[in-house]
Amino acid sequence: MKLPWTHRVQSVVGTASLSLLLGVGAIACKGEGGTTEQPPPDDNTNSAPLTSVEPVAESSDFWSPLDASPSPDGKLIYFTAMNEDGPAVMSVEPGSAPTVLASGGLLVSPFSIVPSLDGSRLFVVDSGAEGDTEVTGRVFSMSSSGGEPSALSAADGTMPKSLTVAEVDGAERIYFTGVLADDESTPAIMSMAADGTDFKVELSGEPLVDPSGIAVTAKGVIFVADSNADALGHAAIVAVENGEASLLASDLRVGFPAGIALDFEERALFVSGLSKEDSSSLVYHIVLDSKEITTISDGISHNSESAGVHRAHKADVFAWANADGDELDPAGGTVYLLKGPRAE
């Protein structure tokens, strides 16, 4: 479904015309001095952040999809949910019925899911899985074609919440949020090699409060959605570069679990959120250089359980989840395919 994306600008530029998101023609910006005409963006930015949204899996024999992530080429969507056999990892090809890849067994409460860079493996954060420590939560690895997951034990005891995969300095690494294994009161951002070795703490303690969704650039810059960053329960986006943290955005309202993804050119972030006015679903679009924030809601605003969002490793394609529904009434939980301007 092609969309005339509507939005709200929440930065110093005031309220922009619809062409800001559609990337068509001149942009009319209204500030203290009234409306002024700005030249069109250059060729690299003259397009909408997103061009279409399509539901690809809707609750029937599953419910509460908490996270969704495309395959590296964007042709398949992986997601976590619940079904009649318990917690599950599933996949769906647009136009087809979902396939169960794993259900029950070691899975207790699968949250975040991301494929490996080559698409052969799936990495899953299970917030309820029990390992060899008293602290629950594990990171699992499993074949993307299905089968029993196995734990990457380096993450045991860290209460992992969300994860992503990135190639940094020529190596594939898993980045995830949680707490320090030897101090569960200290929030942390951690990483490890795709085989579970070379564990590192990227940042711990302040300014982190409740780090959740995570995205990482090819240069190793980390962005985290801190879902409970202030006393009012508002979220913030924290950037971490060379071990130093800085605030990118604040006073946001995010869903559960918080979702965050970089755009195809790594110039902006998409953050899965909720309207402060009516709790309807939306997606924040945050330009990294200017820190300008807009919101995108057409096609998803009828939802109210914003959850995970991820981009395909090699395509301008995103997956977004609305985590509604339960066993008694599964209706509402939906997995969406979102396309950027450079999607095929």
Mean pLDDT of all residues in 163-170: 94
Q: Work out the angle at residue 120's Cα, subtended by the Cα atoms of residues 105 and 116, and round it to the nearest 5 degrees.
A: 90
224-240 pLDDT, tens digit each: 999 988 878 899 999 99
CA-CA distances (angstroms) from residue 253 to 65, 163, 188, 297, 307? 19, 20, 21, 14, 12
Q: What phi and psi, each to the nearest 5 degrees, are found at residue 154?
A: -60, -25
Give how far Cα 69 sits from Cα of 91, 143, 337, Å: 9, 15, 9
Structure letter (DSSP) for residue 20: H
What is the structure's pLDDT at 17? 28
Amino acid type, 153: S
**C-alpha 147: how far from its chain's center?**
24
pLDDT recorded at residue 37: 35
pLDDT (0 to 100) of residue 48:
80
pLDDT averaged over every residue in the chain: 86
Average pLDDT over residues 326-343: 91
Residue 36, pLDDT score: 32
pLDDT surpassing 70 at residue 42: no
> Average pLDDT of 153-175?
94
Place of tokens 């309807």: 280
- The CATH number of the structural domain formed by 53-339 is 2.120.10.30
In which band, very low, low, confident or very high, does the pLDDT at 34 lie, cut at 50, 70 and 90?
A: very low
| pLDDT reading at 191 higher than 60 | yes
Q: Is the pLDDT assigned to residue 212 strictly greater than 60?
A: yes
Provide the whole-model pTM: 0.86
CB count in 10 Å sphere of residue 196? 17
- Burial of 36 by CB count in 10 Å (0-12 exposed, 13-18 middle, 19+ buried)? exposed
Question: pLDDT exceeding 90 applies to what percent of the chain?
Answer: 74
Q: What is the pLDDT of residue 47?
A: 61
What mean pLDDT is predicted for residues 11-26?
31
The whole-number pLDDT of residue 177 equals 97
Closest CA to 163 of 208, 106, 122: 122
For residue 10, the model assigns a pLDDT of 38
Cβ 248 vs Cβ 238: under 8 Å? yes
Torsion of the alpha carbons at 19, 299, 8 and 270, rounded to the nearest 10 = -90
pLDDT band at 217 (very low <50, low <70, confident <90, very high): very high
pLDDT digits (tens, 9 = 90+) for 123-144: 999 988 887 767 788 999 999 9
Please give the pLDDT value at position 213. Answer: 96
Q: What is the DSSP letter of 312?
A: -
Q: List the domain boundaries for the chain.
A: 53-339
Q: Positive or negative CA dihedral for 205, 209, 213, 216?
A: negative
**Does position 21 have pLDDT exceeding 90, yes or no?**
no
Instruction: In whole angstroms, give the CA distance from residue 77 to residue 98.
Output: 9
More confident residue, 315 or 135: 315
| Whether the predicted pLDDT of 326 surpasses 50 | yes
* Proportion of the chain above pLDDT 70, given as a percent: 86
Write out pLDDT tens, residues 245-297. Answer: 999 999 999 988 899 999 999 999 999 999 999 999 999 999 999 999 999 99
